[in-house]
Structures are given as C-alpha cells and as structure tokens.
Amino acid sequence: MMRVAIFSTQSYDKQFFNLVNASFDHELTFLEPALSAKTAILAEGCEAVCVFVNDLVDAETLKVLHQQGIHTLVLRCAGFNQVDLQVAANLGINVFRVPSYSPEAVAEHAVAMIMTLNRKTHKAYNRVREGNFSLERLIGFNLSGKKVGLIGLGQIGIAFARIMRGFGTEVLAYDPVVSDVPAGIRLVDYDTLISTADVISIHCPLNEHTRHMINQQVFEKMKDGVMLINTSRGAILDSSDAIEALKQGKLGYLGIDVYEQEDKLFFRDLSESLIADEQILRLMSFPNVLITAHQGFFTTEALTEIAHTTLQNLSDAQNGTANQNKL
C-alpha cells in the first residue's frame, strides 16, 4: 500500500480510482487544487503524488515535494511536458505516466469534431429546438475523396487514420520519427501535408520542436478554407495566429479540444464568472470554431484504463518492479 495525494481531482477521478483501487488497496487522498509549489504542502504525509495535464510540476514544486519525502510521481495522462524530468531525476523522484489508455477515445473525439464542424449538427440541434427547421447556412461537404493530413502517427494517429479511411478519404501523415506506416496511409513531408490536405488533425506530443509548430507561416501554406483539428496539446497551435487565419478566411474550420491557457479555464464551471481570457473569447466568437474542454479522453474505457495503469505504476514503484512506463 502506498499513500498517494491525487491533485486536480474531479468527481469522475474519485469514482474510477476508488472502483479500480479495490484491487490495489492504496491509500488515496483526493485533492481539488492543482499541484504547484504553493499547494504541494497538501501532500504532507504521503509517499507519492498523482497529477494531471494542467498541474505544474516544475523545479520549485519538485523541491517542495522532495522536502516532504515524496519519492514517486505518477501522471494520469500520456503527456509529460508539465514535469521537469531532469530535476525529478536529480532529486531521486521516480516519474511514471500512462502512455496509452484508449487511443480510440481521442481519435473518435477528433472525428466527432470534424463531423460537427462540417455538417453543423450543433447548430441544427439548437435551431430545431427553437422551431427553426430551415437548412439555410447548414451546408457541408463530403469527406469521401478528401485529403486528410495527420501530424503525428502514434497510436492515436493510427486509430484516427483507420476511421478516416472508412470515410473514403486519402490519408497523408507526417511524423519525423516514423518510417514504417500501416497500409492505406501515405507518409509525406511536412510541407506536402500542410499544403495539400483539406483536413489536418494534430496528434503529436508537445515539446521544444512542436511548440507553435502551427503558426502564421504554416497557415500561409495551407489550402484556403482548410479544417484544422487539435486534440493533442494547446501550445502546438499559435492561437493568435489562428485567430488571424480565421479572420482572413484562410482557416475555414477550427476544432480544438485543447488550448494554450487551458489551465486557467478547463475542468471548471465558470458559467457564473467573468472570463478574462480575451483570446479564447475571440475564438468562441467565430461561427466556424468548435471548442471542447479537453474532453477527448473522456470515455468509460479510457478512465478505467487510466486508473488501472496509474495504480499499477504505484505498486510497481513500491515493489521495485521493472516498469516501461517510467520516464
């Protein structure tokens, strides 16, 4: 048994972790605040902490955790850009992640965003509820025969490509570290993908090479009216440049499940609050923009697998068992 402080807790975290923990018997303390240097004191008395995508695990935070005797950090997500891995290693804090929980969950959400933006089902739903049965301004396009470009060809990208091939699209992919691709996917260079694809979907990790890789210069090379979907990490897309591309009509559709400044917004109910983020307010004002609040992973299957892998990582850390999820 390991004593674990789970930060950024939502109701569904408690539900699935408690359910799966019946097979592990760790001592779980659920905390609503996000982890930072200021909130790290809440982990006092624990041996490990569990964090999510918007927790801040920088050098200062890690030092506070180390002072409290924390020796294990488990991420209940695949990305680890929020963690200073070098400082963690220097302090002897072992870091584990969930590299794969349900690639299909994120891939299917990306497809849902494409279909919603294209066929405008969200607008049709609201119209019909108000007694408006007009089809004006609801026209879409056939996906069949279109070129769909993937940036990143990991498990999520491959799952997405498999679905898009079922629509009859031509699937192009760019991934600098992949040379062997499944049948039906054509590997191309970056410029070819961004200049020829009708729909572009981002499925790569955030790092120093991918931060703001979709920017003004890239938008200028894209087809007029291109559709862009991002279910990966917000900072891969330069939001300011995306707004300009939308204003100019270069970007015809934008679907984002992630956002650069989402740590101040997502996973909270701000319906009665004044939102001070001018950038997201501007994005929300466009009729051809669809924003969801980091919902791509949110399926029963994914949440169950996330909890199971996270708790198994804790058990392996405690027992000194070899674990490929260790960073």
**Which residues are known catalytic residues?**
233, 262, 294
Please tell me the distance from the alpha carbon of residue 174 to that of residue 38, in angstroms, as a whole number: 40
Structure tokens at 245: 């591309």
CB contact at 8 A, 164 and 145? no
Structure tokens at 217: 């210069």
As a three-state string, the secondary structure of the chain is: CCEEEECCCCHHHHHHHHHHHCCCCCEEEECCCCCCCCCHHHHCCCCEEEECCCCCECHHHHHHHHHCCCCEEEECCCCCCCECHHHHHHCCCEEECCCCCCHHHHHHHHHHHHHHHHHCHHHHHHHHHCCCCCCCCCCCCCCCCCEEEEECCCHHHHHHHHHHHHCCCEEEEECCCCCCCCCCEEECCHHHHHHHCCEEEECCCCCCCCCCCECHHHHHHCCCCEEEEECCCHHHECHHHHHHHHHHCCEEEEEECCCCCHHHCCCCCCCCCCCCCHHHHHHHCCCCEEECCCCCCCCHHHHHHHHHHHHHHHHHHHHCCCCCCEC
Q: How far is CA 272 from CA 32, 148, 277, in A?
A: 19, 39, 15
How many other C-beta atoms are found inside a 10 Å radius of the C-beta of residue 162?
16
Contact between 202 and 182 (Cβ < 8 Å): no
